Copies of this chain bind each other. A is one copy, B any other.
């Protein structure tokens, strides 16, 4: 896979993963902060969900540690809200007054773990490690897909139409028939598609189309 990365200021030092801690109790925040920092991870502390939504987060792998009981909003509702806003950071819940339905709801909504207080330090660290790993996976997949999407965005309307039919398995003359073009024109568009998408073989183009979920004609 060719990563078509955009121009960046070249971050020399790779930042450590970031753990966002959301809890209304300062003592809990501080305690988690030192625990997380002790294993070399960066932290960001918030006393309320709203604070998190305002500031933007750095572009590094990470996760969120979220108390279920928060000022103004349930942690579970906040989970939904984050999802709706496209913030896909994995969430580790913790709670002092949890029950089974809460746990089920959180896990169904994609939480990595759900820890009842009191929990052992190691439990939290394991959950955070798993969450960060999940985020790393997701970021990798997203980055590769973004490159594909931006390449696909450079195609003209016609080129996209031709690509759609080509990856569906139609021959050039068939594409020409469907689109009301001559075969030579289809060939030219097809060549442009291959060049712009940065592939040399039809097989690669088909795989790209699959990843992009190019609509069937």
Contacts and interface: CB of A to CB of B under 8 A. Distances in A.
A114 B100 CA distance: 8
How many copies altogether? 2
A137 B99 CA distance: 30
Interface residues of A, number: 26
Contacts of A100: 95, 98-100, 103, 114-116
A68 B168 CA distance: 48
Contact of A210 (B95, B113, B202, B207): B207
Interface string A85-117: 000000000010011110110011000011110
A99 B204 CA distance: 49
A84 interface: no
Contact of A206 (B98, B104, B200, B207): B207
Contacts of A104: 103, 107, 113-114
A169 interface: yes
Given A103-B104, A103-B107, A104-B107, A169 B203 contact: yes
Task: Pick from A103, A166, A204 the residue with the most CB of B within 10 Å.
Answer: A103
Given A169-B204, A206-B206, 7 more contacts: A100-B116, A103-B104, A104-B107, A107-B108, A108-B113, A202-B202, A206-B207
23 contacts: A99-B116, A100-B100, A100-B103, A100-B114, A100-B116, A101-B116, A103-B103, A103-B107, A103-B114, A104-B113, A104-B114, A108-B113, A167-B203, A168-B203, A169-B200, A169-B201, A169-B202, A169-B204, A202-B203, A202-B206, A203-B206, A206-B207, A207-B210
Interface of A: 95, 98-101, 103-104, 107-108, 113-116, 166-170, 200-204, 206-207, 210
